[in-house]
Structure 1
């Protein structure tokens, strides 16, 4: 059993749901979250909006799945990210579960 965690900007919500369905992951949870990026180390020329604190509307998905489904989804997300022309990507982690009930 694996725990999947997926984070992305809110715009990718429908895409992530499609990828989950494609991987035959039918049970998952998700929630809106605020993404945060500290831009204090960037020069003013690189920081278009000249703000030190940048928050974005984001989402996080959780799912407990068998290893095979986790691998399939991980590969699908990697392929999805390759096709994106935006700087923002879908981030996925797969964690081992030692015990569950």
Structure 2
């Protein structure tokens, strides 16, 4: 089992839901959140919210505990989505975290 974590600007919510359906991720949680970019530091995540000059973003935080294959498929589909997006659009970010143990 994996924990799939996705962040995106709110406008991309429907695209993320479509991606998750295509990846066979049938159960997930969504919460509204505010993304904040405080500094222009030269940091690996400095383009977290794309190339926009603003500093606060209505975003969503999506997570799902799912099978390895589904999580990997979702990541591949998100990479493909981001590759097609224009430079002005905000990228969808995703991470896969291993789940070592859980309750039954």
TM range (shorter): 0.7 to 0.9
C-alpha distance in 2, partners of 1:48/1:97?
A: 36
Which one has the largest radius of gyration? 1
**How far 1:35 moved relative to its partner?**
0.3
Q: Give the TM-score taking structure 2 as reference length.
A: 0.82
**How far 1:41 moved relative to its partner?**
5.4
Are positions 1:100 and 2:98 aligned together? no
Residues paired across the two proteins, number: 93
Q: Name the SS for the 1:59 alignment partner.
A: strand
Return the structure number with greater strand share. Answer: 1
Q: Give the TM-score taking structure 1 as reference length.
A: 0.85
C-alpha distance in 1, partners of 2:66/2:53?
A: 40
**How far 1:22 moved relative to its partner?**
0.5
Per-residue deviation, residues 23-66 of structure 1 (Å, max 9, x unmatched): 11110001000000014659xxxx856xxxx1110001010001
Can you give the 5+ residue segments of structure 2 that lack an aligned partner in the other structure? 43-51
Are positions 1:61 and 2:91 aligned together? no
CA RMSD after TM alignment: 1.9
Can you give the 5+ residue segments of structure 1 that lack an aligned partner in the other structure? none
Runs of 4+ in 1 over 6 A off after TM superposition: none
